[in-house]
Amino acid sequence: MLSDRSSHQPLSRASLAEYFRQQLEQTAERPPQQDTCWYLGNLLERFSRNDALFSYQDGVRSIRPLALLYGEALEAGDERQRCLILRHLGDLALFLGALFPEHYARRGIQRDYFIGMGSGAYAYLADNALHQRPIFAELAEGFVEMLDLVARACRRCRQYSATEIMALYRRWLASGNPAEAAQLARLGITLARNANRH
């Protein structure tokens, strides 16, 4: 069980969401709107539980692929159901794209996939959801920044292997992605692109 080190009291769901919200606000150069920070804090708390992150089908626990969720949203019988599925899709794209990019990159799933799926889902919700439209609009318009913010706020204390660092460096060389450059910089790697590289 998680506990607050200062008081040694177990963290409740509410305090875990508050912890994430504070981390987001402290980490952001330009924090999102307060309602959006609350939404993100609750999202991170929710996905800290296996029952929210994983689904069970035929006795197998797995994370539903975003493309399958998108297909379910297209086939939804009513607008409410479609919005619920797209909200889960957007939240999952943000969570997985922020916290596990290396895992998915090794499987050939690049950052653009998460950006397209997540920003598209939130954009639909900004136009069609019954509630929280301003939050969804901010998440859609700033999805790339939100990915980076969540990744920084939830930075895990882990050591990267030389293979992982080299894979990240190669991706940065190919894409010039500023988020990958920032991640390399946090690992202490100084970057200089070769202007003559073809």
What are 163-169's contacts with CB under 8 Å, separation 24+?
164/102, 165/189, 167/102, 167/105, 167/106, 168/102
- Asked if residues 128 and 180 have their Cβ atoms less than 8 Å apart, the reply is no
What pLDDT was estimated at residue 40? 95
What confidence category does residue 28 fall into, taking pLDDT thresholds of 50, 70 and 90? Answer: confident
pLDDT in tens, 66-93: 999 999 999 999 999 999 999 999 999 9
